Amino acid sequence: MARLHEYEGKGMLKAQGVHVPAGRAVASADEAEQVASELGGHVVLKVQAWITGRKDKGGVRFAKTPEEARKCAEDLLGMQFGNFPVEEVLVEQCLEIAHELFVSLTIDDAARTPMLLLDCAGGTGIEERADTVARLAVSVSDGIDRDDVAAVLSRSDIPQESHQALLDAIDAIVETANVNEARSFEVNPLVVLRDGSVCAADCRVTIDDYAVFRHPELGIEIARELDHPATDLERIAYQLEQDDHRGTFYFAKLPTDGWESSKGLIGFHGAGGGGSMMSMDAVTNEGYTLANFCDTSGNPSAAKVYRAARVILAQQGLTGYFGSGSGVASQEQFHSAYGLAKAFNELEISLPVVVRLGGNAEDRAVEILEDACEGLPGSVEGYRKDDTPAFCAARFTTLMDGTSGVSSDQLTRNVPDWVGGDAEAFPIEGGHVWIDLAHCDAALTAQMAEWSSGVLKDDGTGLPAIACDEQTAAKSDSEFIACEIECLRAGRPVLFVDLPIAGIDCPQEAS
Amino acid sequence: MAIIIDETKKVIVQGITGREGRARTRLMREFGTRVVGGCTPGKGGQEVEGIAVHDTVAEVVAAAGGVDVSVVFVPARLVKGAAIEAIEAGVKLVMLVPDRVPLWDAMRIAQCAAANDAEFIGPNTLGVISPGRAVIGMIGGRADSAKQWFNEPIRGKTVGVMSRSGGMSSSCGYYLSRAGLGISTICHVGGDPVLGLTFPEVALKFEDDPETDAIVLFGEIGGSMEERLADLCQTGRVTKPVVAYIGGKAAKEGTRFSHAGAIIEGDRGTHVGKVKALTAAGATVVDGFGDLPEAACAALGVAVEAS
């Protein structure tokens, strides 16, 4: 879930006609003083951070003068919550509150509709009053049932003259959630002021990750919930995912505090959510610390698995690589085997690697992986569906125990020396395919045609050439990777798929 | 019997000319599914695997003389339109395979399905397979693997499987088969927050299926479908033995459950709450995934077969 800050949510509400307090977010004490003086001096300052119980944690301060506001902002901007330093503070006019309401829109999995949670006694202690909170189903096409909401308001001690304004505000909050495709939208509290007007005093919004592509105006950089500011590697991985929708690719760093006292820092490569979680448990139970979570599933292309492995191995300080998913994958697993074999060969991996490749075509997948990686300094072992995650994790421990002094820091990408020279090259999506024609012959070309699933053919003189149109060839990165690995296995490394990763192998384009 | 899908059901594929649609059409047919047609807007008149392609679902339905199921393989952003088109054309069961379907789209599909008395499975489902009969979606992969992995129903010891994890659907079916149990149907309900069929609805279908002797499920933290299933067991709507594993015990809480809106769901959604609800309702909840086959055999009073 992509989380937004309070002021961003309030911006959305304002656009739908909901009143919000005057003020704006600032990143410096100077600006805070400036905004406070514009608002007449008496202001509230609130850290913009993804925390609960902000007030109790000292994240809310009141100031009577612009100078005081400046001092408060200095304090607040120096705070840190969890892994997030406070970078922005919202400075707003103080409100004279008569009534507070708790208004929250969530998505109800049982009703398959948005659900409005409404409590006219406000949000304080809401957890204890869970049973008395009104739960009103919302029509995804028509919004709230105003009669239902009016009935809840009429049972409260809020004066009748504010009910219409509250109804309008609640209607607009739901509409705001709808137009922005929120996963949750909480206004806690929605307040009635002493003058009877209604205003959203706080706002907490998450946007549906899957809808973020329809909302470029929100400027969401990474559409997922992380417990830390996104790292460079997470940004790189997220961009790779956006560029290639063949199957799922998810990468997130995990907290590794105290890993030195564990048996080692491990790169984890899962396949499928449920199976990945079980596999993570298995390797954690062996006493290792996982540096990351990564999931490539849903029939991912070889290129996607290759890139995922490269991202995992770009982390510093890894001493091993463990891959495992559900173990009975419906997808044909040799695509993953080709992708992994390419990454491990390119990096000449020295770390111990255990990958559980159980599922369709698992025998072929294991053979490809182990055979292609046989000459590498690190041991690379593949396993099948009848090998449990616990067995694979134990096997991993055996390999780790027999290895010392290796780290992912030592890995560098090796590109064959004939690449970039006079060799044949043609572009594909995300890079180039290079062929060392000087070392090709008719017999090898015939095999390359087969290994590339017919994307390559004999050009009539015994040399490989593209057999299809340029557009098809450009999308055939996985077929070329298969061909590259098979050439390698045959001891004839004449083809290289160059898929440089922006941010790792080459500078990232400015976005 | 089996539930949801069998060899008699007429199935169509939306997005049949795409990479996945084309490949899965072939695999479904090889397994025994009666694929009678397909569509892709603008591709009417073509053929895929010998199957006529039409522009719209309505045309396929007319040509096939009615269809039972439509399997949707179109890009996520087009799923809403495709699903609503199928439902409005009179298809009563729509399977939404794609991942990343926007949540508000899923809710609009649900609204349309409810208004038209139709059901849907997914989004983000690997599919449904009835061993020995038919498959929809991509569960099991290659037909020969799927036939080898999953036992057909066996009198007195057949389980129905439902799962929130795609990969674990196949894993459950495979390991249960290896323990000597038959499988009536495996249903991957999907991994998204808003789904068509969820555990309660699928369990009621298994309850009505004479071939299914017990229900095995792979649940997960979040949402309420395990608790709602427990309610059905409590009230006697589901009487067959239920054996469950709930994933995500070690998953970090507090991020997804930190909002007041989620907290006031009370016990619902947590690992502890789900285990408690199911156990109180008489279900067997195993602690380790590897314990599922033995627990399923025990619930049916049969011995685990060594394999």
Instruction: Check residue B27 and report its DSSP letter.
Output: H
Give me the pLDDT at residue A226, please: 74
Q: Which of A388-397, B237-246, B260-269 has the lowest mean pLDDT?
A: B260-269
User: Is the CATH number 3.40.50.720 carried by domain B10-121?
Assistant: yes
Is-same-fold flag (B10-121; B150-300)? Answer: yes
Q: Cα(B85)–Cα(A388) distance, rounded to whole angstroms?
A: 43
Where do the domains of chain B lie? Answer: 10-121, 150-300
Q: Which of A57, A107, A210 should we substitute to test contact with B (largest number of B Cβ atoms within 10 Å)?
A: A210
Residue A11 falls inside a structural domain: no
Residue A395 falls inside a structural domain: yes
Give me the pLDDT at residue A383, please: 97
Residues of B in contact with A183 (CB under 8 A): 103, 193
Beta carbons of A329 and B141 less than 8 angstroms apart: yes
pLDDT tens digits for A327-352?
898 888 999 999 999 999 999 999 99
Question: Taking 70 as the threshold, does the pLDDT of residue A241 lie above it?
Answer: yes
Give me the pLDDT at residue B264, please: 44
Give me the pLDDT at residue B161, please: 98
Residues A179 and A324 in one domain: no
User: Where does a domain end: A378, A410, A442?
Assistant: A410
Residue A415 falls inside a structural domain: no
B225 at A interface, C-beta within 8 A: yes
Q: Supply the mean pLDDT for chain A.
A: 93
Give the residue-averaged pLDDT of A256-280: 90
Please list the residues that pair with A2 across neighbouring strands: A207
Q: Cα(A320)–Cα(A352) distance, rounded to whole angstroms?
A: 5
Q: Given an 8 Å threshold on Cβ–Cβ distance, is A277 in contact with B247? A: yes
Question: Taking 80 as the threshold, does the pLDDT of residue B260 lie above it?
Answer: no
Out of B54, B188, B259, B271, the active site residue is B259
Residue A107 falls inside a structural domain: yes
Residues of B in contact with A209 (CB under 8 A): 100
Give me the pLDDT at residue A274, please: 79
User: Where does a domain end: A69, A93, A117?
Assistant: A93
pLDDT band at A228 (very low <50, low <70, confident <90, very high): confident
Among B103, B170, B198, select the one facing A183 at the smallest CB separation: B103
Give me the pLDDT at residue A261, please: 93
Among B76, B126, B251, select the one facing A210 at the smallest CB separation: B76
Q: Given an 8 Å threshold on Cβ–Cβ distance, is B171 in contact with A297? A: no
Q: Look up the CATH number of the domain holding residue A482.
A: 3.30.70
* Tokens 């000449």 found at: A348
Residues of A in contact with B108 (CB under 8 A): 140-141
Residues of A in contact with B106 (CB under 8 A): 112
Best CA proximity match to B120, nearest among B136, B141, B132, B135: B136
Asked about B259 being catalytic, the answer comes back as: yes
Q: Look up the CATH number of the domain holding residue A104.
A: 3.30.470.20
pLDDT tens digits for A451-481?
999 999 999 999 999 999 999 999 999 999 9
Beta carbons of A349 and A293 less than 8 angstroms apart: no
CA distance B218 to chain A (A): 9
Residues of B in contact with A107 (CB under 8 A): 103, 107, 193-194
Residue A1 falls inside a structural domain: no
Crossing angle of helices A302-313 and A232-243, rounded to 10°? 180
Residues of A in contact with B125 (CB under 8 A): none
Q: Supply the mean pLDDT for chain B.
A: 92
For chain A, how many structural domains are there in total?
A: 4
- What's this model's pTM, rounded to 2 decimal places? 0.91
ipTM over 0.90: yes
B248 at A interface, C-beta within 8 A: yes
Residues A252 and A399 in one domain: yes
Residues A107 and A194 in one domain: yes
pLDDT tens digits for A162-209?
999 999 999 999 999 999 999 999 999 999 999 999 999 999 999 998
Question: Taking 50 as the threshold, does the pLDDT of residue B258 lie above it?
Answer: no
Please give the helix or strand (H or E) that residue A192 lies within, else none: strand A182-193
Nearest CA in chain A to B192: A109
Q: Given an 8 Å threshold on Cβ–Cβ distance, is A140 in contact with B111? A: yes
pLDDT tens digits for A89-117?
999 999 999 999 999 999 999 999 999 99
CA distances for B34 relative to A99, B11, B22, B122, angstroms: 62, 6, 15, 21
pLDDT band at B262 (very low <50, low <70, confident <90, very high): very low
CA distance B63 to chain A (A): 32
Give me the pLDDT at residue B249, please: 72
Q: Given an 8 Å threshold on Cβ–Cβ distance, is A109 in contact with B263? A: no
What stretches of A322-361 show up as alpha helix (H) in DSSP?
334-346
Residues A287 and A404 in one domain: yes
Residue A181 falls inside a structural domain: yes
Q: Given an 8 Å threshold on Cβ–Cβ distance, is A329 in contact with B99? A: no
Residues A52 and A109 in one domain: no
Residues A237 and A360 in one domain: yes
> Would you call B118 helix, strand, or coil by DSSP?
coil
pLDDT band at A509 (very low <50, low <70, confident <90, very high): low
- Residue B138: CB atoms within 10 Å: 24
Give the residue-averaged pLDDT of A386-408: 94
User: Where does a domain end: A362, A377, A410?
Assistant: A410
Of chain B, the end-to-end C-alpha distance in Å amounts to 26
B108 at A interface, C-beta within 8 A: yes
Nearest CA in chain B to A362: B145
Residues A144 and A108 in one domain: yes
Residues A369 and A389 in one domain: yes
pLDDT tens digits for A15-63?
999 999 999 999 999 999 999 999 998 999 999 988 878 888 999 999 9
Q: Cα(A371)–Cα(A367) distance, rounded to whole angstroms?
A: 6
Q: Which of B26, B77, B165 should we substitute to test contact with A (largest number of A Cβ atoms within 10 Å)?
A: B165
Give the residue-averaged pLDDT of B209-217: 98
Share of chain A above pLDDT 70, in %: 99
Q: Which domain holds residue A74?
A: 22-93
> Would you call A257 helix, strand, or coil by DSSP?
coil
Q: Given an 8 Å threshold on Cβ–Cβ distance, is B99 in contact with A298? A: yes
Q: Given an 8 Å threshold on Cβ–Cβ distance, is A109 in contact with B264? A: no
Q: Given an 8 Å threshold on Cβ–Cβ distance, is A127 in contact with B264? A: yes
Architecture of domain B150-300: 3-Layer(aba) Sandwich (3.40)
Residues A119 and A253 in one domain: no
Q: Which of A261-270, A325-334, A381-390 has the lowest mean pLDDT?
A: A325-334
Residue A503 falls inside a structural domain: no
Give me the pLDDT at residue A130, please: 76
> How many residues in total does chain B contain?
307
Q: Cα(A83)–Cα(B174) distance, rounded to whole angstroms?
A: 42
CA distances for A171 relative to A157, A166, A194, A198, angstroms: 20, 8, 22, 13
B 10-69 residues with CB < 8 A to A: 19-20
**SS3 assignment for A108-174:** ECCCCEEEEEEECCCCCCCCCCHHHCEEEECECCCECCHHHHHHHHHCCCCCHHHHHHHHHHHHHHH
Residues of A in contact with B195 (CB under 8 A): 109, 112
Give me the pLDDT at residue A123, please: 77
Residues A433 and A386 in one domain: no
Residue A14 falls inside a structural domain: no
Residues A88 and A176 in one domain: no
pLDDT band at B222 (very low <50, low <70, confident <90, very high): confident
Question: Taking 80 as the threshold, does the pLDDT of residue B115 lie above it?
Answer: yes
The two structure tokens encoding residue B181: 């149990």
Q: Given an 8 Å threshold on Cβ–Cβ distance, is B104 in contact with A140? A: yes
Give me the pLDDT at residue B254, please: 39
